Amino acid sequence: MTRALVFLVAAVVGLVAWSVPTAGRVWGGIQGNYQFVSTGILSSTAIARPPEISFFIGRSTIALKSGDQLLGADTGSIDLVSPFGGFASLITFDGGTGAMSNATGQIRLRGEFSASEGTTAGDYLGTLCSQ
């Protein structure tokens, strides 16, 4: 089952760190407003080529339509420079509020980044357990 994710990347191409959260909407099996706050970024030049890939880690919060929040560790990579503009991410859920207080599971995200628009769009697949 594939679901959709769209969020704005509040970053400048060639960034060193994201200091502003990214935000957007999630729909499908999980529905709500999405926010990501980066806690670390590493350029692929620190490891090997290609130089335009950035690896990130941070925290994601999804404010569900019910009013509960879903929380998770978010890791991934994004191509902020080349015309290909791909991204991939793994969110590992580790709790939340209300009915999501014991949430576990993972979703895998993939999609494309538009440097000209500063947005990403993609889909996700995974499992969410709320008990």
Q: In the prediction, which pLDDT does 120 show?
A: 80
Q: In the prediction, which pLDDT does 12 show?
A: 28
Residue 14 falls within a domain, yes or no?
Answer: no
Q: In the prediction, which pLDDT does 74 show?
A: 94
SS (H, E, C) the chain: CCEEEEEECCCCCCCCCCCCCEEEEEECCCCEEEEEEEEEEEEHHHCCCCCCEEEEEEEEEEEECCCCEEEEEEEEEEECCCCCCEEEEEEEEEEECHHHCCCEEEEEEEEEEECCCCEEEEEEEEEEECC
* Domains identified in the chain, total number: 1
Domain region containing 87: 3-9+19-129
Q: In the prediction, which pLDDT does 8 show?
A: 38
pTM (2 decimals)? 0.80
Residue 91 falls within a domain, yes or no?
Answer: yes
Q: In the prediction, which pLDDT does 9 show?
A: 38
Residue 118 falls within a domain, yes or no?
Answer: yes
pLDDT average per 10 residues of sequence, the chain (131 residues) = 39 37 78 88 80 87 94 92 86 96 94 80 89 78
CATH of the domain at 85: 2.40.350
Residue 55 falls within a domain, yes or no?
Answer: yes
Residue 125 falls within a domain, yes or no?
Answer: yes
